[in-house]
Amino acid sequence: MSLIYPVILCGGSGTRLWPLSRSGFPKQFLVLSGDGSSESLFQQAVKRINSVGDGKVAIGNTLVVTNEDHRFLVLDQLREIGSINATLLLEPSGRNTAPALTMAAKCAGVMGQDQDPILVITPADQIIKNQGAFTKALQDCIKVVESESKAIAILGITPNSPETGYGYIQRSDIKDKNNAFVVNRFVEKPNFKTAQEYLLDGSFLWNGGMFISRASTWLSALKEFRPDIYEASEKAWQTQSEDSSDGFHFIRPGKEEFKNIPSESIDYAVIEKCPGSNFPIKVVELDAGWNDLGAWDAVWQVGKQDKDGNVTSGDTFLANSKNSLIHASSRLVSAVGIENLVIVETADAVLIADRKNSQDVKSIVSQLELQGREEKSLHRKVSRPWGWYDSVDEGERFKVKRIQVKPGASLSLQMHHHRAEHWIVVKGVAEITNGVRVITLKENESTFIPQGQTHRLANRGIEPLEIIEVQSGSYLGEDDIVRFEDHYGRS
């Protein structure tokens, strides 16, 4: 029986889906499938790969490679799924997918001991509509890796249009007993004319970034093709630290060592060098309603369209409008006489774009970054490990927040140099440390935290705690905080 480790590559910021996707809450954590599902793309990816078992494979811990800043989003969404054993490999900085997979391969090799486990690798931000077809193709890939020494298998997506935004895989004409084809070559994103030729040719598939390989095979191939990445990754792995919380295991590679790893993708580092090498690579064709949701136009394509071709979400009204996507997050959005548009509303930003130009949303994000605008990274409502806060109003020398603290959670013991705070409890029971005093406040009760006072907010109850926080002072930035104690490793 083969030992399989699902590997979920959960990095990336999804800039083309701004303003809903932001670096602080990227697209893999959003619900975007358009089929009425309440599960995020990340949750779907985890469940999809864990369903590969057919009695002939043993499934080990799911290995989630993600940014250190997103670990609590991952944990919250894993808890919602339930019954998934996971190990989180936390990157201190983004170095692309080749180092990420190398960390997962090292981890699986240790956890799998002498079994040389098989890694099933997928991005966290894709849609697969036909689970049965996906599972069958994945099982065929596993058979390829089981039966051929040093083999790597890849899922190739059956193309249905001349797309210029994807890389392509050219396969051979002969299918083997595992429904796999030899990969002749990989080709970069083509122009439209070339993409049309590929579609007519019939031997070209889209590269969806889903791979199957033994852990030892990936490490050997990386060592041969990119020894610089291999050696730098080895140093980061050797300086790792480990800890656990609430049944989940965390592995943190050495921070400085990880930053020194050359940034490279799985494809460029290894996969595209495999045809004709000592590492045979084969492709299994996948026709299962795949979409990588690379832009708002793709979200419109997979969404549930009405009789006029419109896809709507939230509080919306349309009149005489066609083939458009309208997403309302926090208020009524109405449209009259529009066609082929994307309208996305959030509490602090609105996007209006021609559907065919939705790939260019990333240019808006670049402008926000150049200007240092907070809307690039954070929503008005910000997730935190203890709950969330929503900045509902602000002006000169004041800011008003609505704060929710999860049952059993608490903020850090902290102080601020430049602001004072008033707290009013509107729901639940708050335990408040205010200097040397510890007090309990119930609904409609309040307290004042002077500037420079050490304080903490905690919820010892079983129901969510909500407060209104009114800040006042000369500087109200989020970086005016000194942490003395913190349950989440931020002090």
pLDDT in 10s for each residue of the chain, 491 residues: 789 999 999 988 788 999 999 999 999 999 987 666 789 999 999 999 998 876 778 899 999 999 998 999 999 999 999 888 899 999 999 999 999 999 999 999 888 667 899 999 999 999 999 999 999 999 999 999 999 999 999 999 999 999 998 999 999 999 999 999 999 999 999 999 999 999 999 999 999 999 999 999 999 999 999 999 999 999 999 999 998 877 788 999 999 999 999 999 999 999 999 999 999 999 999 999 999 998 999 999 999 999 999 999 999 999 999 999 999 999 999 999 999 999 999 999 999 999 999 989 999 999 999 999 989 999 999 989 899 999 999 999 999 999 999 999 999 999 999 999 999 999 999 999 999 999 999 999 999 999 999 999 999 999 999 999 999 999 999 899 999 998 887 76
The dotted CATH code for 2-291 is 3.90.550.10
Distance in angstroms (rounded) separating the CA atoms of residues 189 and 166: 5
pLDDT at 246: 74
Give 342: exposed, middle or buried? Use CB within 10 Å, 0-12, 13-18, 19+.
buried
Distance in angstroms (rounded) separating the CA atoms of residues 69 and 198: 40
Omega within 30 of 0 (cis) for the link into 117: no
Strand partners for 334: 317
Helix (H) or strand (E) holding 420: strand 419-427
For the chain, domain boundaries: 2-291, 304-366, 381-485
Longest dimension (CA), the chain: 76
Which has the closest alpha carbon to 340: 327, 361, 326? Answer: 326
Distance in angstroms (rounded) separating the CA atoms of residues 6 and 121: 6
pLDDT at 2: 86
Within 8 A by CB and 6+ apart from 346, the residues are 19, 20, 329, 330, 379, 380
Homologous superfamily (CATH) for 381-485: Jelly Rolls (2.60.120.10)
pLDDT at 27: 94
**How do 311-313 and 325-328 pair as beta strands?**
parallel
